[in-house]
Each structure stands twice: as C-alpha cells, then as structure tokens.
C-alpha cells in the first residue's frame, strides 16, 4: 500500500495543473476561514463547547443510538442497523428492489463511498445517479472524490467543460453557468422520476428522532422530498443529543465546510409523509452503519469519532495542498483521513498515511470540534512502527541514533564522526550539496550545513556578562487583544435584510395592504402566470394575497402529490415543475444568518419552495429572531417537533463546485425574494 | 537559582554560535546560566517517527540531566521545548512512575523568546539591525506552545529593522519526514521559499534552527543570497547574526 502511495504522490507532484488548482484552493480557503472564524469573538469557547457536545455523544453512543432509534421509529421511520459495509449495501439494494427501482438519485455521502454502495448498486442492476454537481462531474469521469466537501476540487473549468461536452453532448464551453445549467437540466429529470432517493446524514438528533441534512445546491432536498422512498445512510457516530446543540454545530459545519455562516439549506427531517401532508416521501428508511466505529470508541483513537466531516483540515494541510486527495488512496483523505482510514480500515493498509504529515498542527488549529489530530497521527505511527512496518533504513538509523543519544560520550563520538563525514562531503559555499543514498533524499532539494569547529559544549563560556540587567528598558505593557467579544447588538430585522442581500437574495418591506399589488407587479414583470403556493388556512397575509392573485387571473396551485400511483405522480411532478414561482410564508427568520424557517406539513408543501426557479417568501417582522439559538430557545423546539420536516433557507440555491466560483440556482430556486411584513 | 540551558543537539553540533548568543542574551538579562554537560537530544526524531521505545531512553536521559537542578530549563527551539512540554506527557501517559517527573520538567521548561518576554518581562534589548527581516513563525512554537507574540515583540524592538511577518505555514521539514517523504517535503519547501522570496528579506529569522537549516539549505540550493538566523544572534549584534 505504501509503495502505491509513493507512486500516486509522485504522479500528483508532477501534475502542475493539479498543483495550481490545489494552491488556489488553499489560499482561497485561508482567507475564507480568517473571515468566518475571525468574526466569532469567543471562538475558543465555542470550539470547546462543540468538542464537549461531540465527546458526550461518543462516550454515550450505545445508549444515545437506542434513544435515537426509538424516537425515529415513533416518528414513522424504518430503522436498520448495519454492522459492516456489506450488510449496509445489501439493505439498500433490498429496499430499492422492493420499490421496483432500477435507478436511485443520491445526494453526496462519503459514507456511501466508504461502503462502496455505487458499485454494489450497479452490480445489482440499479443505476446510482450522483446529484451533487461535483459528484456528478466525477461520476461522469469515472473518478472518486478528491475532497470531503468539494469532490471535484482537483479539476479546473476547462477540464470539467470537456467532460460535460463528452458525456452530455453539450457544446464545449468554459462558461461555468452554462455547465451548471446543463447539469441541472439532466439531473432535474432524474429527480422528478426516481423512485428512491438516497442521502447521507450530517447529524441525527437523538432526543428528537430527526435527521439533519445540509446542502447548498438543493439536491439534498430533492432526493429527500421528491421520490416516494427516502433512504438515509448514517455513520453510527453522527449524532447530537438534542436540538439545542444544532445552532452551534450547524454554524461550525457551515463555516468550516464552505466558509458560510449557515449553508443554504438545512433540512430537519422528522417524519415520512403523514395523512394530511401534501408531499414528501411516504417511506423514510435510515441505515445506521457501524463499520468499525463502535470498536474505535474503546481505544486511543476514539476522538476521531468526534469528526463532523467538514473538510477544513484538508484545506489547511500543507501536505494535502501538495499531493491532493487522490494520493491518499482512501475515501477519507487529508489529516482526518490519515487517522480515520487506518482507524476504520486497518493500520496495515493505511497506517503509512499517518507518516505523510509534518505534524505542523494546522489541522488541530482549524478543527471546529478540536480533534488533536497530530497526537492521533503520532499514535498511529507508533502502532505502525511497532508492527515492524515503515522504512527499514529509517528504523535502524533511529535505533542507532537513540543508542548514541542516551549516552553523552557516545554522542560525543557520534558527533566527531559526523564532523569528519561532513568535512569530506562535496560543498558549495560551505554547505554540502551532495550526499549518498539515503541522505541524498535531503540534498536533492536542499544543501546541508557542515559541522564546523567545536560544539557549543566545548566553547561555552558562562558567567561573562551577568548582572547588567539594570540598564535594560522595562517591559512594555502587554499588548492584550482588543476584546472582539460579542458583536454589537444590532436590530435583528436590519441584520436580516443585510444578510439576505449579502447572500444574493432580495429583500422588500411591505405593509399587508400593499403586498398583493407588489406581488402582482413583480410576477407580471417576469411574465409568470402559474405559481405554487402554501395554503395553510388561517395565515391572513397569504389568504389576502391569494384572493387578489386569483382574481387577477393567475393559475394558483397548492401542490398535492398523488400517493401510490407512480405514473400519476410523474405527471403531477412534471406539471408542478413547470410553475414559474413558489409562494410560501415562513415560521421565523434569523437575522445573523439571513435565514427563513419553512415548516413542512399540512398546507405547507415542500415542493413549493423547491421546484420553481423563483421562491417568494412572506415573513412577519415580529418573527425575526437574532439567530437560530434564540428561536429554538423561544419556541422550545415547538415547530421542529410538530412539522413533518423543517427547512432553514439562507439565500438562493448555490454551488461553488467548479473552481469555487459561486453560481446561483443549481437545483433549488436561483432567485429568492423575501417580503417582510411590517 | 540559575537557568539551565538545553541547547538542543542541533545547536550544540551545527550552530554553536547561536548557542553562544543565547547564553549572552540570558546573562545580559541577569540570569545565571548553567549548561548541564550530559545533555544530548530530547528524543523527538524517534517519537515523531513512531519509535517510542527508542524515544523513551532519550527522554529518560534528558529528564535525569535536568533534574539535577530545579532551575527553569530554557530551550532555544520551539519544537524541542514542545517535545518536553507536550510530547513527554503523551510518551509517558501510561507510566505512573515517569509521568509526574515529565510533568514537573514540562512545568519549568520554556522556549527562549517565551522565557525572555513572559518570564523576565523584557521585550526590548536595545539592539539594532539595519536591514529587512522576514519572521518565520515555526509551527510547534506557534501552534503547540502558543508562543506567538514574544518573538514579534523582541523583533519589533530592534532599531532600524524593516520587519515582515510570514504566515504560519510549515516549511516542510518535519524531521524524519524530510527524508522519508523527500519529494513532498521539497514541494512544501518550494512553496515556502516563494513566499520568502516575495518579501526579499536580507535574513529569515525564526526560533527553530531545524526549520532554518531546512530553509537555508533550500535557499542555497537555489543560489539565493538570502540567509537564515535564529532570533538570539539578532539580540546580540549584527555581526553575530550574519556569522
């Protein structure tokens, strides 16, 4: 394995295009992290809290998993436990077969890569369609992801344009929005017609029996909303105890994962479609996969289970920056992968990855849940060495070194020998420029200093200069950091407006009386005649707007997806997808992140805010909170625990999967207009 | 009670002038310095490579050497100081006999600039350096010991110096890594040298001679005129800094 690693590294290092793509990513993310973590005044305290939240979960994992499973079942989920990859894949195939699916749509999930799900599905005659833009691109290329968050980060726009041209038959282009549009059109068909949607799980909420999924493009929403059957695949350790832990963990995952305060969509999936829900899958399955995780809990690597798969350690790692994700030869690359891969899949196969690090600590510094990765890497190195693996000459050299260094006189002789050797070696301007193998590994790219003169121990003269301290200037007052502290208290409504706009959404204030006219003007400007809408009775603003728009001749559709009959469902989906806009209310909004809260349940279809290219949301100004934590506190999780699912939306659908270039409107609406009622 | 200098094997053998500058600075600050002559290596190379059994013998030797006196141990290397402060605790985590000894030594071990600024309360030695400096914040010093300000404060106080801060980025040394993964290390070095060359300093300064040996070796290979120095010679005088 180690020899293959060296070959892949050699290949990566000689690929100058890859090197450039990786450098750009590293430098971009450095700035992004400085911004999104820099603005948190109490970052260290928050990281410590996040560490404790996750550590508590790992320590109590078996009992939390019991609670989680019970609550999920109470909420109507089918819960499956899989001890290994084989069992997990077999469970997915069985469910898909039972639905008569020959095709499944998938949102991004590393775990499905870990268990080799796509391969198993294909062998079973079921076509897996990756729907995350980056995953879609690498699936077309027959590659594997090179990054936890940005699977296609090793490619530039020309390389991707060529792939899309070859595989989708689109004209060759390096226009990123044209590439997005082509992928969107292809995948839209799949979403509307698939019988099974497969997603990963970012967090399971044990006490609520909920599954939380983050996505920016909206593909995660598609696969968990449109197909009649949803299968969520979750690593057994990906739990949070309670909904109150979400605000911090979602903030950290979004910031560390993609440099956002909150990723665009956060779906909290609680139940399958209930009797009076207008849409959503009738069946939700969850497969909780162990595959070595519970065994890791017991040992010295247990902290690796704290990982929330944000990928930040990859972005800051100087080794990853040089060799890229594919060199690691594992689903999990970078610092986290160098611990997780040997931890889950064996030291024999992956222990060598732990040595591909300078232990510089950048990973530990950025990790939002404070995993001490350098120490874990050291522990794997110890295991690896104690199993007799690794370079033979280094092992013997270090044995000799240790034998020499534990005795001062041997050290003295060793130094004299080395001095002689360096005196004989060829030099340039006093430094050695060539050494024989294996030391040539050093001199191939740097010179080496010569041992000159006497060592310090023989030349040191002590006590020449003592006692002159009185003349020295006194210490300056220490330069304490200015307290960043809590950000100045701002009006949540003003902040909400600023954040919505910053994210590429549009914000308007309106009175109840002028709202219908404003909407009419907007829609007729855009030439939109058909719109989907929420029909929740008792929402006065919505009623008023709908009455007005109905009288003005708009075709108003309150979606109701047919149950059972799949071809009727296909027809309905097709016609719903042709609507020009979706009109919803919002249960609440968060100022700091520009987020709106959309519960899904009777009269509140999920599709309305998902399928149309334009989403219009009406928010009451009284419902604007400072942030998610404040809302959950005020509500006691009331909405979260009554809706079939709850969606947080921060801005329009977006992706940065091609050259980190922001493109709006991938799978979800590309335009978001929020009317805030006074 | 005087301070004990743990010069580190690299400074003792390869950069003795740096060690002399360290002594001179500490003595100018009124410290009585001793040099326990049995000192060798802290054991970090074997520790980082996974050969903890081999490392233990060096660590035990080092603990014994510095247990003869209770004076603070000053180490002119962020990496070696971090080995004693953090590495030994991990190394002896399951050894009830040695762990307390490791902890006691860790508690009185300081990196050079940290000792001057945080323990002695001195940030200005009244020295000058007329030239352009690039400060390389070495990883273990910055991230493991959290010694971020002291070197900057000491350098900022130099009269006539045009001081530039490099980002906290690994130079690619990593001990055995540099030979075990020579090509990766070389690419990391190259990345760092490009950052350095963009600043065009006369000198690169840091608190770890291991990183500096790596950086200067790379600069020399490229035929660059830029040289590297540990912080201590700059706090003595210019000639020493330039050797």
Q: Give the residue with greater pLDDT, A508 vs A564.
A: A508
Q: How much is the average pLDDT of B1-10?
A: 94
* Residues B195, B169 contacting (CB under 8 angstroms): yes
- How many angstroms separate the Cα of A237 from the Cα of each of A53, A77, A167, A253? 12, 19, 37, 16
Does pLDDT of B15 surpass 90?
A: yes
Instruction: Give the three-state DSSP class for A560.
Output: coil
Instruction: Give the three-state DSSP class for A626.
Output: coil
Q: Nearest-CA distance from B215 to chain A in Å?
A: 8
Q: Nearest-CA distance from B88 to chain A in Å?
A: 12
- Cβ contact (<8 Å) for A460 and B23? yes
Does pLDDT of B109 surpass 90?
A: yes
A476 touches chain B (CB under 8 A): yes
Share of chain A above pLDDT 90, in %: 79
pLDDT for res A437 = 87
pLDDT for res A295 = 94
- Which residue in this structure is represented by tokens 């940065």? A656
* Residues A597, A646 contacting (CB under 8 angstroms): yes
- Cβ contact (<8 Å) for A408 and B39? yes
User: DSSP letters along B28-70, please?
Assistant: HTT--EE--TT----SHHHHHHT-HHHHHHHHHHHHHHHTSS-
Does pLDDT of A592 surpass 80?
A: yes
The closest CB to that of B174, out of A359, A382, A433, belongs to A359
Q: Nearest-CA distance from A334 to chain B in Å?
A: 14
pLDDT for res A483 = 34
Distance, CA of B49 to CA of A394 (rounded, Å): 9
Q: How much is the average pLDDT of B115-144?
A: 96
The closest CB to that of A361, out of B45, B144, B181, belongs to B144
Phi-psi domain of A212 (left: phi exceeds 0; alpha: psi -120 through 50; beta: other): beta
A339 touches chain B (CB under 8 A): no
A414 touches chain B (CB under 8 A): no
A341-382 tens-digit pLDDT: 999 988 999 999 999 999 999 999 999 999 999 999 999 999
Q: Give the relative orientation of helices A392-405 and B52-66 as an angle to the nearest 10 degrees.
A: 20
In chain A, what residues touch B57 (CB-CB under 8 Å)? 402-403, 406
A425 touches chain B (CB under 8 A): no
pLDDT band at A466 (very low <50, low <70, confident <90, very high): low
Instruction: Give the three-state DSSP class for A184.
Output: helix
- Cβ contact (<8 Å) for B19 and A460? yes
- Cβ contact (<8 Å) for A378 and B57? no
Q: Which of B1, B9, B11, B13 is the mutation pick for testing A, counting most A CBs within 10 A?
A: B13
pLDDT for res A471 = 42
Bridge-based pairing of strands B203-206 and B128-135 is parallel
pLDDT for res A481 = 35
Q: Which of A173-187, A288-302, A628-642 has the highest mean pLDDT?
A: A288-302
Alpha carbon A534 to its chain's center: 31
Q: How much is the average pLDDT of B94-122?
A: 98
A394 touches chain B (CB under 8 A): yes
User: CB contacts < 8 Å between A and B, how many?
Assistant: 248
A439 touches chain B (CB under 8 A): yes
Angle ∠(A375,A381,A384) on CA atoms, nearest 5: 150
Q: Residue A623 has what DSSP assignment? A: G
In chain A, what residues touch B124 (CB-CB under 8 Å)? 472-473, 476
pLDDT for res A665 = 85
A445 touches chain B (CB under 8 A): yes
In chain B, what residues touch A391 (CB-CB under 8 Å)? 180
* Residues A555, A580 contacting (CB under 8 angstroms): no
Segment among A191-200, A479-488, A650-659, B207-216 with least mean pLDDT: A479-488
Q: How much is the average pLDDT of A501-510?
A: 95
A405 touches chain B (CB under 8 A): yes
pLDDT for res A489 = 54
Does pLDDT of B210 surpass 80?
A: yes
Does pLDDT of A473 surpass 90?
A: no
pLDDT for res A323 = 97
The closest CB to that of A398, out of B54, B170, B178, belongs to B54
pLDDT band at A538 (very low <50, low <70, confident <90, very high): low
Bridge-based pairing of strands B3-5 and B73-75 is parallel
Q: How much is the average pLDDT of A249-276?
A: 96
A574-591 tens-digit pLDDT: 889 899 999 999 999 999
A319 touches chain B (CB under 8 A): yes
In chain A, what residues touch B176 (CB-CB under 8 Å)? 394, 398
Q: How much is the average pLDDT of A555-572?
A: 91
Does pLDDT of A478 surpass 60?
A: no
A3 touches chain B (CB under 8 A): no
Q: Nearest-CA distance from B132 to chain A in Å?
A: 23
- Cβ contact (<8 Å) for A475 and B140? no
Does pLDDT of A301 surpass 60?
A: yes
pLDDT band at A485 (very low <50, low <70, confident <90, very high): very low
Q: How much is the average pLDDT of A607-626?
A: 95
- Cβ contact (<8 Å) for B182 and A395? no
pLDDT for res A90 = 98
Mean pLDDT (chain B, rounded): 95
pLDDT for res B40 = 97
Q: Residue B72 has what DSSP assignment? A: P
- Cβ contact (<8 Å) for A399 and B51? yes
Chain A residue with CA closest to B55: the answer is: A402
Does pLDDT of A612 surpass 80?
A: yes
In chain A, what residues touch B64 (CB-CB under 8 Å)? none
A362 touches chain B (CB under 8 A): yes
User: DSSP letters along B143-208, please?
Assistant: IIS---HHHHHHHHTSEEEEEEEPPS---S-TTTHHHHTHHHHHHHHHHHHHHHHHH--SEEEES-
Q: Nearest-CA distance from B25 to chain A in Å?
A: 9
User: DSSP letters along B120-138, please?
Assistant: S-------EEEEEEEE---
Rg (CA), chain A: 29
pLDDT band at B243 (very low <50, low <70, confident <90, very high): very low
Mean pLDDT (chain A, rounded): 92
- A454: how many CB neighbours lie within 10 A of its CB? 11
B155-178 tens-digit pLDDT: 999 999 999 999 999 999 999 999
Does pLDDT of A178 surpass 70?
A: yes
Distance, CA of B75 to CA of B72 (rounded, Å): 10
């Amino acid at each position: 394995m180690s020899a293959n690693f060296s070959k892949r590294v050699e290949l990566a290092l000689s690929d100058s295009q890859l090197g450039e793509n990786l450098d750009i990513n590293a430098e971009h993310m450095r700035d992004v992290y400085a911004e999104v973590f820099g603005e948190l005044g109490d970052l260290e305290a928050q990281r410590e809290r996040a560490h404790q939240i996750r550590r508590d979960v790992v320590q109590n994992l078996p009992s939390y998993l019991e609670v989680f499973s019970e609550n999920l079942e109470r909420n109507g989920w089918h819960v499956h436990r899989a001890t290994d990859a084989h069992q997990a894949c077999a469970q997915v195939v069985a469910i898909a077969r039972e639905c008569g699916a020959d095709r499944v749509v998938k949102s991004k999930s590393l775990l499905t890569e870990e268990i080799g799900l796509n391969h198993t599905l294909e062998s079973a005659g079921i076509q897996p369609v990756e729907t995350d833009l980056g995953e879609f691109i690498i699936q077309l290329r027959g590659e594997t992801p090179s990054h936890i968050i940005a699977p296609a980060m090793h490619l530039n726009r020309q390389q991707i344009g060529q792939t899309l041209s070859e595989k989708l038959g689109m004209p060759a282009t390096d226009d990123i929005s044209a590439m997005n549009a082509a992928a969107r059109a292809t995948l839209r068909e799949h979403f509307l017609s698939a019988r099974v949607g497969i997603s990963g799980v970012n967090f399971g909420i044990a006490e609520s029996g909920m599954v939380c999924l983050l996505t920016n493009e909206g593909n995660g929403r598609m696969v968990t909303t449109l197909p009649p059957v949803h299968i969520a695949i979750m690593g057994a350790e990906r739990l949070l105890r309670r909904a109150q832990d979400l605000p911090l963990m979602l903030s950290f995952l979004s910031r560390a994962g993609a440099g956002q305060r909150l990723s665009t969509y956060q779906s909290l999936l609680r139940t399958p479609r209930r009797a009076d829900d207008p849409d959503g899958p009738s069946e939700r399955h969850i497969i909780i996969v162990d595959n070595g995780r519970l065994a890791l809990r017991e040992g010295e690597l247990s902290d690796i289970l704290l990982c929330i798969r944000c990928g930040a350690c990859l972005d800051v790692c100087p080794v990853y920056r040089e060799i890229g994700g594919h060199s690691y030869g594992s689903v999990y690359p970078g610092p986290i992968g160098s611990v997780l891969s040997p931890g889950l899949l064996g030291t024999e196969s992956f222990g060598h990855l732990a040595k591909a690090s300078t232990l510089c600590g950048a990973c530990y510094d950025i990790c939002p849940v404070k995993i001490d990765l350098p120490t874990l890497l050291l522990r794997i190195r110890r295991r690896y060495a104690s199993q007799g693996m690794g370079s033979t000459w280094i092992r013997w050299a270090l044995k000799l070194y240790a034998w020499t260094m534990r005795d001062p006189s041997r050290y003295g002789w060793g130094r004299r020998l080395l001095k002689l050797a360096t005196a004989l070696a060829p030099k340039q301007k006093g430094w050695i420029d060539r050494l024989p193998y294996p030391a040539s590994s050093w001199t191939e790219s740097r010179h080496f200093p010569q041992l000159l003169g006497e060592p310090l121990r023989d030349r040191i003269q002590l006590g020449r200069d003592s006692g002159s301290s009185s003349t020295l200037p006194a210490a300056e007052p220490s330069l304490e950091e200015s307290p960043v502290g809590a950000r100045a208290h701002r009006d949540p409504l003003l902040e909400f407006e600023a954040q919505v706009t910053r994210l590429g959404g549009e914000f308007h204030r309106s009175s109840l009386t002028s709202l219908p006219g404003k909407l009419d003007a907007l829609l007729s400007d855009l030439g939109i005649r058909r719109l989907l809408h929420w029909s929740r009775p008792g929402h006065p603003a919505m009623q008023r707007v709908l009455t007005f728009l109905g009288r003005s001749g708009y075709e108003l559709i309150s979606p109701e997806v047919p149950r059972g009959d799949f071809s009727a469902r296909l027809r309905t989906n097709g016609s719903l997808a042709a609507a020009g806009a979706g009109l919803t209310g919002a249960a609440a909004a968060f100022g700091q992140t520009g987020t709106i809260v959309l519960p899904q349940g009777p009269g509140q279809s999920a599709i309305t805010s998902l399928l149309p290219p334009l989403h219009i949301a009406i928010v009451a100004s009284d419902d604007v909170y400072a942030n998610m934590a404040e809302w959950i506190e005020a509500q006691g999780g009331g909405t979260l625990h009554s809706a079939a699912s709850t969606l947080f939306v921060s801005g329009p659908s977006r992706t940065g999967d091609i050259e980190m270039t922001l493109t709006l409107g991938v799978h979800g609406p590309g335009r978001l207009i929020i009317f805030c009622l006074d | 009670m005087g301070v004990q200098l743990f010069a580190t094997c690299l400074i003792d053998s390869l950069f003795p002038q740096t060690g002399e500058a360290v002594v001179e600075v500490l003595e100018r600050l009124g410290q009585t310095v001793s040099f326990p002559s049995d000192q060798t290596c802290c054991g970090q190379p074997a520790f980082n490579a996974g050969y903890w059994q081999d490392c233990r013998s060096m660590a035990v030797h080092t603990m014994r050497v510095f247990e003869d006196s209770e004076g603070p141990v000053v180490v002119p290397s962020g990496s070696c100081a971090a080995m004693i402060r953090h590495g030994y605790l991990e190394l002896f985590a399951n050894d009830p006999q040695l762990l307390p000894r490791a902890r006691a030594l860790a508690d009185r071990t300081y990196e050079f600039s940290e000792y001057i600024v945080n323990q002695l309360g001195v940030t200005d030695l009244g020295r000058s350096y007329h030239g352009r400096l690039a400060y390389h914040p070495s990883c273990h010093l910055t991230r493991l010991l959290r010694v971020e300000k002291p070197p900057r404060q000491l350098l900022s106080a130099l009269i006539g110096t045009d001081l530039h801060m490099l980002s906290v980025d690994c130079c690619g040394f990593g001990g055995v890594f540099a030979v075990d993964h020579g090509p990766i290390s070389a690419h990391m070095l190259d990345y760092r040298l490009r950052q350095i060359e963009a600043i065009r300093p006369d000198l690169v300064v840091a608190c770890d001679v291991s990183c500096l040996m790596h950086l200067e070796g790379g600069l020399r290979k490229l035929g660059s005129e830029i040289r590297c120095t540990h912080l201590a010679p700059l706090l003595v005088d210019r000639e020493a800094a330039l050797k």
